[in-house]
Amino acid sequence: MRVAKETVVAIEYTLKDDQGNIIDASGDRGPMEYLHGAQNIIPGLEQGIDGLVAGDTKNVLVPPQLGYGEYNEKLLQLVPLTAFGANTPQVGMRFHAETNLGMRVLTIKKIEGEEVTLDGNHELAGKTLHFDIKVVSVRAAEPTELAHGHPHQAGGCCGGGGCGSGEASGGGCCSSEEGSAGGCCSTEEPAAAQKQGGCGSGGCGCS
């Protein structure tokens, strides 16, 4: 079966920057599963995988406009150190905050004297992404997966039967509290290839 719209695809990948530094890799997490054609992953990667079959390997080059967007200086903002109250901000720290562009992940970019520079850009904004991918499997999506816009198998975000039960899966893989390391539902640090909010935004409670 070829990768096409309405197939669930599992890939292994290594993501590098222009200098060849590894930014992210499926590695120990195992293959990443996604629903093709449902915007689960960045457009450039999805286009690169389209039409492949299980076992295929490919280098996919993704420019910023098909990845995480261009770097936007307007997403930089200065806040006073006092805004952090009792917390001690450190460069590189990340947190969620309401901004004039809605809820975003902000990264502390710089601390100078009493001023802290926050960056609302995605950490991969402005970067050309070099993916080495291998297609592990391709299968037709189940009707419920199409309805929900994400895969339901183990390894997917709603694996383990948490999905469809109709119950709030307390502590399930889709709980935002429990940063399931590297899982697609972790709100802290989504796997780089996975669009932020691709999972969970559709309600991994799957009602």
Determine the longest span between alpha carbons in the chain, in angstroms.
Answer: 58
Should residue 66 be labelled a site residue for Zn ion when binding is judged by CB under 5 A?
A: no
Secondary structure class of 81 (helix, strand, coil): helix
We find the least distance from the C-beta atom of residue 204 to Zn ion, in angstroms, to be: 6
Using the minimum distance from each CB to Zn ion, give the nearer residue, 63 or 161: 161
Q: How far is CA 149 from CA 8, 24, 165, 173, in A?
A: 10, 24, 17, 17
Should residue 184 be labelled a site residue for Zn ion when binding is judged by CB under 5 A?
A: no
Binding segment toward Zn ion, per CB under 5 A, in 66-74, 92-100, 133-141, 148-156: 148-156
Q: Where are the beta strands (DSSP E) in the chain?
A: 7-16, 22-25, 32-35, 57-62, 76-80, 94-99, 102-112, 115-119, 129-140
We find the least distance from the C-beta atom of residue 159 to Zn ion, in angstroms, to be: 10
Should residue 206 be labelled a site residue for Zn ion when binding is judged by CB under 5 A?
A: yes
104, 127, 130, 148: residue in contact with Zn ion (rule CB under 5 A): 148
138, 163, 174, 185: residue in contact with Zn ion (rule CB under 5 A): 163
Q: For residue 84, what is the DSSP state?
A: G
Binding segment toward Zn ion, per CB under 5 A, in 2-10, 123-131, 163-171, 183-191: 163-171
CA distance 102 to 185: 19
Using the minimum distance from each CB to Zn ion, give the nearer residue, 92 or 143: 143
We find the least distance from the C-beta atom of residue 167 to Zn ion, in angstroms, to be: 13
Could you tell me which of 18, 34, 52, 10 has the C-alpha nearest to residue 126? 18
Should residue 158 be labelled a site residue for Zn ion when binding is judged by CB under 5 A?
A: yes
Using the minimum distance from each CB to Zn ion, give the nearer residue, 15 or 163: 163
Should residue 162 be labelled a site residue for Zn ion when binding is judged by CB under 5 A?
A: no
CA distance 64 to 70: 6
Contacts with Zn ion by CB under 5 A lie at 148, 158, 163, 206
